[in-house]
Amino acid sequence: MVRRRRSPMWITRMSPCKLKSLVRKTKRRRRNILRNKTFTREGKVL
């Protein structure tokens, strides 16, 4: 993936389709991470 920080220039260079797919992927990742965190917390508590 791109190592640079997210900047307007990089966003403008990318095509809208790619941007949308990237956003979807990041959203899915975040959800999975959140789910994993909640599961581990529940496991530790139990």
Q: Domain for residue 29, yes or no?
A: yes
pLDDT, position 24: 74
Instruction: Evaluate whether residue 33 is within a structural domain.
Output: yes
Give a yes or no: residue 2 inside a domain: no
Q: Find the domain containing 35 and state its range.
A: 8-43
The answer to whether the beta carbons of residues 32 and 39 sit under 8 Å apart is no
Amino acid identity of residue 16, one-letter, is P
* Whole-prediction pTM: 0.31
Residue 1 belongs to some domain of the structure: no
Q: Are 20 and 26 in contact (CB under 8 A)?
A: no
Domains held by the chain: number: 1
Report the alpha-carbon distance of residue 23 to residue 27 in Å, rounded: 6
Query: Each residue of 1-46: pLDDT tens digit?
Result: 555 566 666 556 667 666 677 667 777 777 777 777 766 666 665 4
pLDDT reported for residue 45: 54
Tokens of 35: 């789910």
Integer Cα distance of 12 and 18 in angstroms: 11
